[in-house]
Amino acid sequence: MNLTLNDEQKRIQTLAREFAEREVKPGAIERDETSTYDVGLFNKLGKLGLIGLPYPTTVGGQGMGYLEYALAVEEISKVDASLGISYSVATSLYGGTIFNSSASEEVKKKFMAPVLSGEHLGGFGLTEHGAGSDAAGQKTIAKQDGDFYILNGSKCFNTNGPLADYYVIYALTDPSVGTKSMTCFAVERSTPGVSIGHIENKMGIRSAQVSEILLDNVRVPAANMLAQPGEGFKLAMKTLDCGRIGVAAQGLGIAEGAFEIARKYMMEREQFGKPISKQQYLAFKMAELYTKIQGAKLLVYGAALAHDAGTRFTVDAAMAKMTATDVAMEVTTEAVQMLGGNGYMREYEVERMMRDAKITQIYEGTNEIQRLVISGTLFR
């Protein structure tokens, strides 16, 4: 299948693919093993203009769209899903919250440009210990104090958290009315009272850094408010629609990366006197996986195109996220099986891809939440 890309989209795809192969792939096994993140790779993503792809130049972006961005996330995630999610969170969730917000152009540029340029990481503070799938169950409070708001609370599972210089933090101005008072702020890491709590030790995406963000009397200018009280939940949902395209592209990339390793291995590995690709059972299995990947690709690119067309893309994003990440889990699990004993070994990479794939079915809305979003539109 060859969805026709224009010359600019092909250029972005090639740029991201060459960068991924040349600079990201070589250290991926070690970064996973040591749970270390290479900030230099993020800096380079920015220098190549890939982080700001879907945003206008007025806020530091490249003035392209979500299809170009999805193509880049896909290429990076083929070789390193950790960098894929770090990149996606910075662009879609951090950048998206600010871009979709009611903040002034000046505030948008101030907080977006340093992250889109790749100089600084950005994090997205929505999830709390008691507010995961039920994102409305926030406890973090923002209390007005003249021209400032004082933030108290904590956020968890914050991708980029320990390394980020900027966050968007969702909070309630009046807990007695819950989401009717939900708002959001752009917060600088250097603000007194912001600190890093527990850093997670994870099954997969081990190079990506994920932590708690603790907020203890953090004084934030009212000008940094990104949603009027009561509008914060919708801002989070609108932003997650964008983020889910990023995770869908990540899942697609993981699936393609593992598929390609298995395909090449099957042509080289001989058993019973012939390459294992000549075993019809295995070849048929690969045909099925290939078909599923192509189907997922159509949904991912379709959701990105729906975003870029300015239409409501909530369901497109949910279908793409659910399908591409389920396909990633299936393909990586089968790839480990195709490689037999070697598949279980670190140097063959597919075991890492299998561990990485699992979280894509969970974060940015579990695939059960995606089913809720999709089914909610079917019976109106």
Active centre residues (catalytic):
364
Residue 131 carries which DSSP code?
Answer: B
Q: How far apart are CA 272 and CA 282, in angstroms?
A: 14
Site string for ligand CAA, 12-51 (x = CB under 6 A): ----------------------------------------
Distance CA 64, CA 9 (A): 9
Pairing state between β 210-221 and 148-159: antiparallel
For residue 349, give Cα distances in angstroms to 88, 266, 284, 355, 361.
Answer: 22, 15, 23, 10, 20
Pick from 52, 122, 343, 365 the residue near ligand CAA by CB under 6 A.
Answer: 365
What count of residues does the chain have? 380
User: How far is residue 139 CA from its own chain's centroid?
Assistant: 24
Q: Is 241 in the site for ligand CAA (CB under 6 A)?
A: yes
Identify which of residues 108 and 155 has a Cβ nearer to ligand CAA in the complex.
155
Torsion angles phi and psi, residue 124, rounded to 5: -120, 110
Q: How far apart are CA 169 and CA 166, in angstroms?
A: 10
Binding to ligand CAA by residue 374, rule CB under 6 A?
Answer: no
Q: Is 363 in the site for ligand CAA (CB under 6 A)?
A: yes
Site for ligand CAA in 81-100 (CB under 6 A): 85, 89
**223 is a contact residue toward ligand CAA (CB under 6 A):** no
Q: How far is the CB of 246 from ligand CAA (least distance, A)?
A: 9
Q: Rounded to the nearest whole angstrom, what is the least distance from the CB of residue 366 to ligand CAA in the complex? A: 7
Interaction of residue 111 with ligand CAA, rule CB under 6 A: no
CB-based contact 118:44 (threshold 8 Å): yes
Q: Give me the residue label for tokens 């989070």.
A: 236
The least CB distance from residue 345 to ligand CAA, in Å, is 28
Q: Is residue 371 classed exposed, middle or buried when 0-12, 13-18 and 19+ CB atoms within 10 A define those classes? A: middle
Of the listed pieces 132-140, 219-227, 276-284, 325-333, which binds ligand CAA according to CB under 6 A? 132-140
Among 77, 173, 314, 361, binds ligand CAA (CB under 6 A): 314
Residues near ligand CAA (CB under 6 A): 85, 89, 124, 126-127, 133, 135-136, 157, 159, 233-234, 237-238, 240-241, 314, 363-365, 369, 372-373
